[in-house]
Amino acid sequence: MIIAITVTLFFIIIRFTVTLFNFISNPKLTKVNRQYADLVSILIPARNEEDNILLLLKSILQQDYTNYEVIVYDDESSDNTYSICADFAARYPQFSVIKGGKLPAGWLGKNYACHQLANFARGKYLLFLDADEVINKGLINSGVHRMQAYKLALLSLFPNQVMKTIGEKTTVPLLHYILLNLVPLRLVYLTKSAALAIANGQFMLFDATVYRQKKWHEMVKDEIVEDAEIMKRVKQTGFKGELLLANGMISCRMYKSYAGALSGFSKNVLAVFNNNILALLLYIILILGGPMLVAITLNFNLIFFMLGLILLTRIMISLSAGQNAWMNIVFHPLQMVNMMIIAFLSIQKHLTNTNTWKGRSI
């Protein structure tokens, strides 16, 4: 029992240290006032996004970058996604929509959509966005500035998350929670090691010359967590990549219900752990079972020490992610339970080969 408690406290201290590093280093995209004029291709894969896509298109229209093209790839939607985008494109010449065809064997849907979009793009930079996002002024200029200043082949961002329902508030913060207390974000850029390679497909800004040379999405055509796999290959081939927080310049409402969040996160959480079931289970045991084990010792010094680190961790992560710290503290126990549920759903889908997303097996 002493060994188990020691391991638990060591794990909590390590996560607190990573969180503190991220909080102090403040890995956010810096907003710049300088204006750039390079052509940016904004590329949007969309499948059954009739409730979201118009908000994104309108937000692009209202931003402060002028030299851009927008291409939407309608990925065999069964709703009105295509007609909504086509009507919008008919009014604004910088916007266009492509009607996607049947998904080829060996490809996952989003990866093929992104690959096809890149083939149609003309820009010096290729910016891939998800259809459920909204961008704010300064995003594209700041992204292009970062690409040029740091000589990046890939810049990826974690958007600020919009949460309205209790179900969202007890699940969606897990995204930043896992990220910011396990990964020192600054080291993604500073180290050459592919072991520290992580990205977010919600915002992927590529140097188009390098992209066309390497065809990144084709390289990872069958990968569920294609964003991290692309960042890994970027680093393995000697190019530079960076992952930052969006600093309020792009937001996303990932899911609109508790069930949707469980389904969405369980789709890929095991893949984040390289499909290593033992590693995921060990993580769950340490974040759930470990604190309970410390609690039953009734050693109040240890308990207060543990709770203090967890509390400070939640506050720092919430402030970094632009979230309500008190909300995440109150909902922390529920979020941890939901993390366990998501993990077991992910393992079940993996073992039974029933992992699906938007009507497709993955």
* Per-residue pLDDT reduced to its tens digit, 198-253: 999 999 999 999 999 999 999 999 998 899 999 999 999 999 999 999 999 999 99
pLDDT at 360 over 70: no
Backbone φ, ψ for residue 165 (5° rounding): -95, 160
DSSP state of 130: -
The answer on pLDDT for 177 being more than 80 is: yes
CB 123, CB 38: distance < 8 Å? yes
Residue 137 pLDDT > 80: yes
Q: Is the pLDDT of residue 144 over 90?
A: yes
Q: Are 157 and 202 in contact (CB under 8 A)?
A: yes
**pLDDT surpasses 80 at 133:** yes
> Tokens 């990925």 appear where?
75
pTM: 0.93
pLDDT, the chain, mean? 93
Instruction: Output the CA–CA distances (angstroms, integers) from residue 59 to 84, 289, 349, in the order listed.
Output: 15, 44, 36
Residue 297's pLDDT band, with cuts at 50, 70 and 90, is confident
- Region 160-179 average pLDDT: 95
The average pLDDT across 20-42 equals 95
122 vs 336: CA distance, rounded Å: 45
* Mean pLDDT, residues 261-289 taken together: 88
Provide mean pLDDT across the span 20-36: 95
Count CB-CB contacts under 10 A for residue 102: 7
Cα–Cα distances in Å, from 275 out to 2, 170, 188, 222? Answer: 30, 24, 21, 14
Q: Mean pLDDT throughout 165-173?
A: 95
Q: Tell me if 83 sits within 8 A of 50, measured CB to CB.
A: no
Domains of the chain: 2-25+258-353 (no CATH), 40-252 (3.90.550.10)
Q: Rounded to whole angstroms, how far apart are CA atoms 134 and 173?
A: 18
**pLDDT, tens digit, for every residue of 299-327?**
888 889 999 999 999 999 999 999 999 99
Query: pLDDT band for position 20 (50/70/90)?
Result: very high
State residue 101's pLDDT score.
86
- 293 by Cβ neighbours in 10 Å (0-12 / 13-18 / 19+) ranks as middle
Average pLDDT over residues 58-85: 95
* Nearest Cα residue to 42 out of 144, 111, 112: 144
Q: Which residues contact 7 (CB under 8 A, 6 or more apart)?
A: 286, 290
What CA–CA distance (Å, rounded) separates 308 from 225?
A: 34
Quick one: pLDDT at residue 328? 97
Residue 357 pLDDT exceeds 80:
no
Q: What is the pLDDT of residue 295?
A: 85
Q: Which stretches within the chain are classed as H helix?
A: 2-25, 53-61, 81-91, 109-120, 139-149, 166-169, 174-180, 186-190, 208-214, 216-219, 226-236, 258-272, 277-284, 290-295, 300-321, 325-330, 332-352
Nearest-10 crossing angle of helices 332-352, 258-272 = 60
CA 323/CA 317 separation, integer angstroms:
8
pLDDT of the residue at 192: 86
